[in-house]
Amino acid sequence: MPAVVTVSDLLEGAIRDFRAAGLDNPRLNAEILVGHVTGFKRVEVLINLDEEVEEETGELLRALVERRSRHEPLQYITAQQEFMGLSLKVDPSVLIPRCDTETLVEAVIERCRLLDSPRLLDVGTGSGAIAISLAHYLPEAHVVATDVSAQALEVARENARAQGVTSRITFLHGSLLEPLTGESSPGLTFDFIVSNLPYIPTADIDSLQPEVCQFEPRVALDGGEDGMTHYRLLAAQSPEFLKEKGSLVCEIGVGQTERITRVLRDAGFVSMETIKDLAKIDRCVVARRDT
């Protein structure tokens, strides 16, 4: 007769394996994965430790623990990430949304409150986290979202359907603002162009934690030699797509304030505001088009 296996057994085994693999926060990782395979929320894992589990559940957990022990991100293993209070699907074709980016989204939401039917553009949408959050919290807004990756756009579309905002987001395939050029969108302008483009200098990527440099899509990380390659292009392209008094809002990395400010000034933006995240680090810049 096979031995009885409980939630507690699964949890303690996963913690041991994660400690042996040298992962940070082995208990947290274990609780999340045990919850994932049992269907329990994290707090429910801890109050159901004596619950018996099927053999198949244990086998599934062992496979997931092995993946996590190789530093594969939890979000790719569970295929989900929370952002702005919304549960989003993620897979290796998209960058995992970070809470730092919520600073950018909140800044745009705050500035749109007084606008009637704001029109917004999310450049490099990835999982759709920014575009979907804006559409969710600004029910009068219409959002256009672009991405160079067709796979990423499929993830974004799926997330939009799950959140019930498909009718107010237009997804376009192409690099930066290229999908908006030509006869398909003559004279289209926006109140805000919003973007979390790749801003990590190429030489710094391989020194990032393994979860990032080994698993997340490099195209969503690599910002070129100084991290500003994509933002230079976006800043140059943006003015013709902004309404009068419209703004370009860019997420930046630690220590990049002066660099992005110079890029924006070179593109003709002269009115700029820097916004800090919860850690009091400069996280995004709002650059207004002055006419």
Query: Positive or negative, the Cα torsion across 232, 271, 109, 246?
Result: negative
Q: In this structure, are residues 9 and 57 in contact, taking their beta carbons and an 8 Å threshold?
A: no
Based on the fold, state whether residues 22 and 132 are members of the same structural domain: no
pLDDT digits (tens, 9 = 90+) for 138-179: 999 999 999 999 999 999 999 999 999 999 999 999 999 999
Using CA atoms, how far residue 83 sits from 4, 11, 101, in Å, is 38, 26, 9
Give the Cα separation of 95 and 76 in Å (integer): 10
Query: 43, 70, 97 — which closes off a domain?
Result: 70
Q: State whether 55 and 99 are in the same domain.
A: no
Say if residue 42 is in the same domain as residue 152: no
Domain extent at residue 28: 7-70
In a domain, 45, yes or no: yes
- Note the pTM of the prediction, 2 decimals: 0.93
CA 81, 87, 93, 99 dihedral sign is: negative
> Which CATH number fits the domain that encloses residue 143?
3.40.50.150
Q: Which two tokens stand for residue 1?
A: 């007769």
The β-bridge partners of 138 are none
The verdict on 54 and 162 lying in the same domain is no
The answer to whether residue 149 is domain-embedded is yes
Residue 75: inside a domain: no
Give per-residue pLDDT as tens, 191-235.
Answer: 999 999 999 999 999 999 999 999 999 999 999 999 999 999 999
Q: Are residues 38 and 57 in the same domain?
A: yes
235 and 99 inside one domain: yes
Q: Per residue in 111-139, pLDDT tens?
A: 998 899 999 999 999 999 999 999 999 99
